[in-house]
Chain A
Amino acid sequence: MYRYDEFDHAFVSARVEQFKDQVERRLAGELTEEQFRPLRLMNGVYLQLHAYMLRVAIPYGTLSGRQMHKLAHIARRYDRGYGHFTTRQNIQYNWPALSDMPAVLDELASVEMHALQTSGNCIRNVTADHFAGAAADEAADPRPYAEILRQWSSMHPEFSYLPRKFKIAVTGADRDRAAIQVHDIGLHLKKNEAGELGFAVYIGGGQGRTPMVAKKIRDFLPVEDLLTYTTAIVRVYNLNGRRDNKYKARIKILVHETGTEEITRQVEAEWQAIKDTDLKMPQQDVDAIDNYFRMPNLPHRPEGWSQLAAARKADHSFARWVDQNVTPHKNPDYGVVTISLKPIGGIPGDATDAQMDLVADIAEKFSSDEIRVSHEQNLVLPHVAIADLRIVYDLLLTDGLATANAGLITDIIACPGLDYCALANARSIPVAQRISERFGQPERQADIGELKIKISGCINACGHHHVGHIGILGVEKKGEELYQISLGGSGDEICTIGDITGRGFSSEEIVDAVETIVDRYLLVRTDKEENFLATYRRLGAAPFKDALYNETANAA
């Protein structure tokens, strides 16, 4: 894992001191709210419906046990005993007092964490494949490049006041688990035929009120050019992005209005002017960062396979969890464990302080002290020996963390919605809970197979509804919550924006509507191997619209 150097420590400490002073001046009335608001947002402090909210950055979703223990401690001491893991691999605390914020930031700094650039029109926390550095299907670990981007973008003087927020995601595998094509910049780290590393570069993707799939503007950018090329992209955006209209200010609109060919030309022209400047990365600099992310020393544990076979046979629940939540590791004696934060009927992404402590303890003992946060609002233990799976499972079971549903219909992404968020128009979490309860029976989930439901409580799409196989958007209509359904969205390597089915459904109707869609899928799929998305892509929206809106005709 990356460790702060002297510069990092000094930088974060200076920011904590600066914010401490700003909070004191605000509480003393020396700063007005108008003056203070942009300052608090730069430090991750929002105002929600019931209290302030602090959003803490978890760079590329990677944490140590010590850091997770600290997050638990903050939840316990300064909040209400829990935190909410978000779709940007961050954690949000929902109840901290403004006067406690400096102390919380001090606590975070003591474990090399902060809340910088989790808000505002700057380059936000860089996200990465949550299986990075562990997954068997990966060409290379993308996190060193995410870290390089973090260092480059932190307090970048030219890019601290962009037309709008700017989000970068990286993956190192062909299977895109980081949804890079719905980001302002998406980077796919891969090897060319000569075995050299480089990036396919995508720009102009995003969700929100105008969802767009990113356009690929480079198929192979050598890694040494990462910062010069990224600078060229952000510079073109900073100069030409629309500052006249908040809703048209993201780079996706600039790319759309300018045209992919023309914007590529502009980026390339800018790049030509700077490509051989100081930002061109010497290999030794890349290697220095790369060193922090080396695979931990994983001893041979071949005994695990026979133990696993016996344990699976003896316990069906354990077998189901292994099948669903454990994925292949680069080292065949190890597995990547997804810890579901989606208990049946629970709140997606929430974890109590005790659960965070438990995960930290397990990671320290059984996962080389590494934890990941996924954009799907789960936690990941990236390096667990197959031989330790049973004990890890048993430990997770002690606090409700062994739900065997990764990637299934109850593994739902939901934004905080109107239960907390000042921007929301409708609630998301209760809808997720009711869907989870409806489909929670293990055999039923297994029969339905892979199906990603994503729910947002407003058009800003923090719940990623546009790329849900079934997406649900909550709106307010005549004072009531109304839920619009879209189908066929996907945030993976074949990225698509879902199609809206038609009129929305009331809060009472929405779960039945989802069940209607699922039942129709089960009826029309060729066989169990054809998952929901494949069926939708084969048949289109017609059979599902028919099921949703022509029930009387169907009955007749």
Chain B
Amino acid sequence: MSVKVLTANRLTDGEAVWLGANGDWLDQIDGALVARHAEAVAALEEAGKAAIKSNLVIDVNVIDVEERGTNLYPVRLRERIRQLGPTIRLDLGKQAEKTSANAA
């Protein structure tokens, strides 16, 4: 079943971020606050407006994700590419950060 999370790009460097359960903007989708019903989605949207006002992020959007076990899987390819990085440069973007973190 598809649920929702809130995503944006960080103001300072444009990096893709997701709103975490603790209210912080996270560099990875893991740990994002998941909205499972209409009221929660409305709360996400409100949080997005507040984040724009507080000047932390831009281009805020509520997106569809699937819960696959403990992982969150964006429904649209666009969002999966934002989550990982360019599919033609696996050495760049978040996929590369994950790989180097695993290697370390």
Chain A positions within 8 Å of B, measured between CB atoms, are 26-27, 29, 33, 47-52, 80, 95, 97-99, 347, 418-420, 422, 424, 427, 429-430, 433, 476, 479-481
Judged by a CB distance under 8 angstroms, whether B92 is at the interface is: yes
When the two chains form the complex, which single residue of B14, B52, B81 contacts A51, counting CB atoms closer than 8 Å?
Answer: B14
User: CA A430 – CA B15 in complex, angstroms?
Assistant: 23
Residues of chain A within 8 A (CB-CB) of B81 are 49, 418-419
Q: Do residues A419 and B15 form an inter-chain contact, with CB atoms below 8 A?
A: no
Interface segment among B18-26, B28-36, B41-49, B71-79: the answer is B71-79
Q: Do residues B78 and A49 form an inter-chain contact, with CB atoms below 8 A?
A: yes
A80-B92, A347-B88, A419-B86 as given contacts; A479 in contact with B75, CB under 8 Å: yes
Judged by a CB distance under 8 angstroms, whether B59 is at the interface is: yes
Please give the number of chain B residues whose Cβ is less than 8 angstroms from any Cβ of chain A in the complex.
24
Residues of chain A within 8 A (CB-CB) of B55 are 29
Interface centre among A29, A95, A418, A430 (most CB of B within 10 A): A418
Judged by a CB distance under 8 angstroms, whether B102 is at the interface is: no
User: CA A50 – CA B14 in complex, angstroms?
Assistant: 7
Residues of chain B within 8 A (CB-CB) of A99 are 12-13
Residues of chain B within 8 A (CB-CB) of A49 are 16, 78, 81-82
User: CA A29 – CA B12 in complex, angstroms?
Assistant: 11
Q: Do residues A479 and B76 form an inter-chain contact, with CB atoms below 8 A?
A: yes
Residues of chain B within 8 A (CB-CB) of A26 are 11
Q: Do residues B88 and A98 form an inter-chain contact, with CB atoms below 8 A?
A: no
User: CA A123 – CA B79 in complex, angstroms?
Assistant: 33
A49-B81, A418-B77 as given contacts; A27 in contact with B88, CB under 8 Å: no
Interchain residue pairs with CB less than 8 A apart (13): A27-B12, A33-B52, A47-B9, A50-B15, A51-B9, A51-B13, A98-B12, A98-B14, A347-B89, A418-B78, A420-B86, A427-B87, A433-B88
Q: Do residues A429 and B82 form an inter-chain contact, with CB atoms below 8 A?
A: no
Residues of chain A within 8 A (CB-CB) of B52 are 33
**Minimal Cβ-Cβ distance residue in A for B82:** A49
| 11 more CB-based (< 8 A) A-B contacts, given A80-B92, A419-B87, A424-B78 | A49-B78, A50-B14, A50-B15, A50-B86, A51-B15, A97-B12, A98-B12, A99-B12, A429-B88, A430-B87, A479-B75
Residues of chain B within 8 A (CB-CB) of A476 are 76-77
Residues of chain B within 8 A (CB-CB) of A480 are 77
Q: How far is the CB of B81 from chain A (nearest CB, A)?
A: 6
User: CA A205 – CA B10 in complex, angstroms?
Assistant: 38
Residues of chain A within 8 A (CB-CB) of B65 are none
Residues facing A in B55-80 (CB within 8 A) are 55, 58-59, 75-78
Q: How far is the CB of B52 from chain A (nearest CB, A)?
A: 7
**Minimal Cβ-Cβ distance residue in B for A426:** B77
Q: Do residues A33 and B86 form an inter-chain contact, with CB atoms below 8 A?
A: no
Q: How far is the CB of A83 from chain B (nearest CB, A)?
A: 13
Residues of chain A within 8 A (CB-CB) of B59 are 47, 422
Q: Do residues A48 and B14 form an inter-chain contact, with CB atoms below 8 A?
A: yes
Residues of chain A within 8 A (CB-CB) of B76 are 476, 479
User: CA A284 – CA B86 in complex, angstroms?
Assistant: 51
Q: How far is the CB of A276 from chain B (nearest CB, A)?
A: 49
Q: Do residues B93 and A50 form an inter-chain contact, with CB atoms below 8 A?
A: yes
User: CA A26 – CA B82 in complex, angstroms?
Assistant: 24
User: CA A230 – CA B75 in complex, angstroms?
Assistant: 48
Interface centre among A27, A50, A95, A347 (most CB of B within 10 A): A50
Q: How far is the CB of B54 from chain A (nearest CB, A)?
A: 8
**Minimal Cβ-Cβ distance residue in B for A31:** B55
User: CA A480 – CA B76 in complex, angstroms?
Assistant: 8
**Minimal Cβ-Cβ distance residue in A for B75:** A479
Q: How far is the CB of A436 from chain B (nearest CB, A)?
A: 12
Residues of chain B within 8 A (CB-CB) of A427 are 87-88
**Minimal Cβ-Cβ distance residue in A for B56:** A29
Residues of chain B within 8 A (CB-CB) of A430 are 87-88
Q: Do residues A97 and B13 form an inter-chain contact, with CB atoms below 8 A?
A: yes
User: CA A98 – CA B13 in complex, angstroms?
Assistant: 5
Residues of chain A within 8 A (CB-CB) of B78 are 49, 418, 424
Q: How far is the CB of A44 from chain B (nearest CB, A)?
A: 14
Q: Do residues B87 and A52 form an inter-chain contact, with CB atoms below 8 A?
A: no
Residues of chain A within 8 A (CB-CB) of B16 are 49-50
Q: Do residues B82 and A419 form an inter-chain contact, with CB atoms below 8 A?
A: no
User: CA A127 – CA B104 in complex, angstroms?
Assistant: 47
Q: How far is the CB of A346 from chain B (nearest CB, A)?
A: 9
User: CA A17 – CA B58 in complex, angstroms?
Assistant: 24
Q: How far is the CB of A290 from chain B (nearest CB, A)?
A: 42
User: CA A411 – CA B84 in complex, angstroms?
Assistant: 28
Q: How far is the CB of B93 from chain A (nearest CB, A)?
A: 5
User: CA A481 – CA B81 in complex, angstroms?
Assistant: 13
Interface centre among B12, B52, B85 (most CB of A within 10 A): B12
**Minimal Cβ-Cβ distance residue in A for B91:** A80
User: CA A268 – CA B93 in complex, angstroms?
Assistant: 53
User: CA A48 – CA B59 in complex, angstroms?
Assistant: 10
**Minimal Cβ-Cβ distance residue in A for B92:** A80
Residues of chain B within 8 A (CB-CB) of A52 are 13-14
When the two chains form the complex, which single residue of B58, B86, B87, B93 contacts A47, counting CB atoms closer than 8 Å?
Answer: B58
Q: How far is the CB of A423 from chain B (nearest CB, A)?
A: 10
Q: Do residues B82 and A50 form an inter-chain contact, with CB atoms below 8 A?
A: yes
Q: How far is the CB of B30 from chain A (nearest CB, A)?
A: 17
